[in-house]
Amino acid sequence: MSETAQGQAVLSSIKRRLPYLNPALRRIANYTLRNPTIVKSLTIGELAEKCEVSESTITRFVKELDIRSFPQLKILIAEDLSRAPQAPEQTEEARSVYEDITVEDNVDTITRKIRYRLQHTLDETFSQLSIPEIIRAVEAIEKSETLAFFAVGSSTLAVGSGLMRFVRVGKKCQFFEEQNLQQMSAVALDERSTAIGISNSGRSQAVVRALQVAQQVGARTICITAFPGAPIVNYSDVKLITPTTTVPIGRPEYHESMTSKFAQIAIMDLVYSIYAVRNYERSIEKLEATNRVSEDTRFL
């Protein structure tokens, strides 16, 4: 059954597939993502003209999304728009300094845009969540003596959250910031370990290679990524998919979308919370112990 048939937001599906489309289909995808309100009112011929493709290419794009017809695509876009809060407008000419923040924006507009992006990211994260995969991740962690984290750039924010949470409930954890050391450390893992790779694009070489090595030596592997077709997925036993960035692919800020990191942290918090509840007695014991150790690090 297709993603859209399961109720997955069609615009999110388009965003995740975007890097893997050919140039003609990518033009259609980019136009649709930037102008969903317009697309839902166009005929197939009008959309083809705007994207400088043939009508048969539009049909191929629709089939790529596992959607029955172009009218059905427009219905799904309309449903998406009815569920989502209204995004602030921006002109195509305005160059963004951070995601969709431009030089034309005043403080009030910037505030509304940031609020919208964060709210939308979290809403989308939990609406597309695969609970069976979350449970599989928790079970992998339960069976492991050591958790090894792998990430680069701003994805290390989610690693920091995971390290703090799981260390406090008694899990042995490791993380090395240096990329070569990350890959080499994966060699030391075994079947008693779980490797957790975090990469929004799913293409960070150090992270992908570390998971590949971890899987080869028998460790369980989990990825947190926005793209189910990315290389990191090939070496992951458990795939936790987050919403992707709204920044067009190819832009410098695409790979470091900060709002996407909130989705990663939310997923990490969810996995930890379920683990802690399922292992309540041990978690409470270790939390109390770490509280005692850290008491003298805070002002009374």
Q: What is the CATH number of the domain that holds 68?
A: 1.10.10.10
Which whole number is the average pLDDT over 163-186? 94
32 and 179 share one domain: no
Pairwise CA distance, residues 213 & 148, whole Å: 12
- As a whole number of angstroms, the distance between CA 148 and CA 7 comes to 34
Beta bridge partners of 222: 196, 238
Q: Beta 101-102 vs 146-150: how paired, if at all?
A: unpaired
66: left (phi over 0), alpha (psi -120 to 50) or beta: left
Question: Is residue 176 situated within a structural domain?
Answer: yes
Q: Which residues pair with 65 in a beta bridge?
A: none
Q: Bridge partners of 174?
A: 148
Q: Tell me what pLDDT residue 12 has.
A: 81
Q: Domain for residue 35, yes or no?
A: yes
Residue 140 and residue 269 in one domain = yes
SS3 assignment, position 264: helix
Within a domain: residue 202?
yes
pLDDT (tens digit per residue) in 153-170: 999 999 999 999 999 999
- Per-residue confidence (pLDDT) for residue 249, from 0 to 100: 41
In percent, how much of the chain has pLDDT > 90?
Answer: 61
Q: Are 4 and 66 in contact (CB under 8 A)?
A: yes
User: Is pLDDT at 36 greater than 70 in this prediction?
Assistant: yes
Helix intervals (H) in 65-102: 70-83
Residue 247 has pLDDT above 60, yes or no: no
In a domain, 109, yes or no: no
Q: What is the pLDDT of residue 204?
A: 92
pTM: predicted TM-score of the whole model, two decimal places:
0.74
Highest mean pLDDT among 8-12, 15-19, 66-70: 66-70
Dist CA 197 CA 185 (whole Å): 13
Higher pLDDT, 120 or 36: 36
**pLDDT of the residue at 104:** 83
Instruction: Tell me 4's DSSP state.
Output: G
Range of the domain at 157: 131-295
Q: What pLDDT was estimated at residue 18? A: 80
Q: Are residues 196 and 76 in the same domain?
A: no
Beta-bridge partners for 238: 222
Q: Quick: pLDDT tens for 267-295.
A: 999 999 999 999 999 999 999 999 888 88
Encoded tokens for 76: 């799904």
Per-chain mean pLDDT for the chain: 86
pLDDT tens across 78-97, in order? 888 876 544 444 444 445 55
Q: Tell me if 95 sits within 8 A of 102, measured CB to CB.
A: yes
> Do both 71 and 164 map to the same domain?
no
**Encoded tokens for 87:** 């995004």
**pLDDT for residue 113:** 81
pLDDT digits (tens, 9 = 90+) for 205-238: 999 999 999 999 999 999 999 888 899 999 999 9
Spatial separation of the C-alpha atoms in residues 69 and 90, rounded to whole Å: 30
CATH of the domain at 285: 3.40.50.10490
pLDDT band at 252 (very low <50, low <70, confident <90, very high): very low
Number of domains in the chain: 2
Identity at 54, one-letter amino acid code: S
- pLDDT exceeds cutoff 70 at 8: no
Shared domain for 76 and 153, answered yes or no, is no
Domain boundary among 84, 119, 141: 84
- Looking at the fold, whether 45 and 167 belong to one and the same domain comes out as no
How far apart CA 180 and CA 91 sit, in angstroms, is: 42
Q: What is the pLDDT of residues 122-160, one digit of tens each?
A: 888 888 889 999 999 999 999 999 999 999 999 999 999
pLDDT-based confidence at residue 250 (cuts at 50, 70, 90)? very low
